[in-house]
Structure 1
Amino acid sequence: MSRWRLKSLARDTRGATMIEFAILAPIFFAILTAILETSVQFFAAQVLESGVYDANRSIRVGMAQQDGWTVDDYKENVCNRLYGLFGNCADLYVNVRPIGDFRSADYSVPLDLTCEKDCDWTEDEVWTPGGSSSVVLVQVYYRYPSILQFPYAPNRLPDGRTLMSAATVFRNEPF
């Protein structure tokens, strides 16, 4: 190759943009995907919180107690308010129980956080919606699937899913 051709080839910048794009595109799309997944998870957590809050109205006014609801009826009521964001509503964990007063509200995560593969619930579900004017604690948990596997993501379970929860304490109306 002649000397003139080598100099002109060294000055040719027509493919520079394509090479820069090839270097930066994977980083850009990874950040964009992370933002989208985080947004969907925050949105799903808010929908879960709202669905639980709305379903609790049935307990608060005594409808669930008078109609003889079971934990599956409550799950169905919550699931109907989740707009398809949660794949399998049978994976919801529900703990509804009366407590002495508002100050005695305590909770523990019903999951072994050190599990390695399939993280199963470690406690049985509780369905005791309480009577008239009783203070009730409602906890709902869901293991939400994740697309990206960031090692230090908040609420990340060892099996790659994200633990979402909604909890509420209220006093039943006198029914």
Structure 2
Amino acid sequence: MNPQPTTSVSRRPFANAPTTCQARILDILLAQDGSATRLCEAVAQGPVGVQVVRQQMTGSVPDLVRQLLRGDRFIERVSFLFARGEVMLDSVSYVALDGLDAGLKADLLAGLRPIGHLLTSLWTRREPIAEAASLAAPIWTAVGLPDDAATRAYRIVAPDGPRMIVVETYRRGMLMKRRE
């Protein structure tokens, strides 16, 4: 399911959250090593939409991506997750095309589902990348609102090796009110 996107969603930076409680929530979001998609669904109390802002196959990626993933061709995908009119997170993903399953590649290129849903059939682990801010430029270029303090990056590794790098910036939509 992909609820209606873009023109009517609100995007607000998270890092200037005013309360101690909100700052602690951000600490937890940045430290967790599970699926951000599943966290967004828990906060939204239901499905979230994905909007692909820009996606391309490219050989031109940041040096750090080339060091951490193998191959010469990648999918670069800038997207965001949203629910109830609020952007919950913006992201840029780099997916190594070498050895990528054809079905997964087709799903990624279609851009209809969050990456967190596409990975459920694979055994994966996430490895944090300390240089998150250095990889976030495509997010800032595409949607604005730089927010290094609310940004994290990680490499997703499958049994056959590193598959992708994901850089996520949490937004204030993660603080949406609970439905009663």
TM tier, smaller? under 0.3
Instruction: Name the structure with the higher strand share.
Output: 2
Q: What TM-score comes out, normalization by structure 1 length?
A: 0.25
Instruction: Name the structure with the higher helix share.
Output: 1
* Bigger relative CO (Cα 8 Å, ≥ 6 apart): 2
Larger Rg: 1
